[in-house]
Amino acid sequence: MVNMSKRAIITIAMVFLATGLIGGYLIPRPVDTGEIQPQLINVEDRYRQPFENRFGFQAEFTTVASVPTGSVQLFRFDEIDSNQHPDENHFLYFLEGRATGNIGGVQSDIGPGTLLIVPADVPYSFRKVGDEPVNFILFSSPPFE
């Protein structure tokens, strides 16, 4: 695994964020003009409930909010094989557990409090380290499919 300085990781994250935001802004999408209602979700309580979907063999998720321009899912995984989404910009906020990740060819250790930005069409993969569950919140624009 490549050891990177904190400054290099922050720089890479900022480049991914800028790329995702610019790409998300420039790609035209039809948007439902329906009214978006406020929602309040207790994430801790929601993690105690069963998840509704499987992602591969070693990951599960549930959608907690979705609007025409984006969605929020709660994920738990042991491993997420190499994957990419051609149209979705992803923002992953890790709540608990430790993992290693490869995002666009950049290797990194991931733990609680880590925010990862994965722009559309950038490959990524994750593998749990240790016994503690790895839980993260996925913010996706447009909605995760």
Backbone angles phi, psi at 93, to 5 degrees: -115, 115
One DSSP character per residue, 12-40 reads HHHHHHHHHHHHHHHS------SPPPP--
Q: Residue 20 has what pLDDT?
A: 66
* Pick from 29-38, 68-77, 91-100, 131-140: least confident: 29-38
Q: Residue ranges of the domains in the chain? A: 6-28+40-141
**Which pLDDT does position 16 carry in this prediction?**
63
Q: Bridge-partner residues for 118, per DSSP?
A: 90
Claim: this prediction has a pTM higher than 0.95? no
pLDDT for residue 15: 67
| Token pair belonging to 114 | 């880590």
Quick count: other Cβ atoms within 10 Å of Cβ 141?
22
d(CA 92, CA 117): 6
| CA within 13 Å, CB half, 8 | 7
Whole-angstrom distance, CA of residue 91 vs CA of residue 88:
10
Q: Residue 24's pLDDT band (boundaries 50, 70, 90)? A: low
Q: What percent of the chain is predicted at pLDDT more than 70? A: 79
Tell me the per-residue pLDDT of 52-88, one tens digit each, with 9 for 90 and over. Answer: 888 777 899 999 988 888 999 999 999 999 988 899 9
CATH architecture for segment(s) 6-28+40-141: Sandwich (2.60)
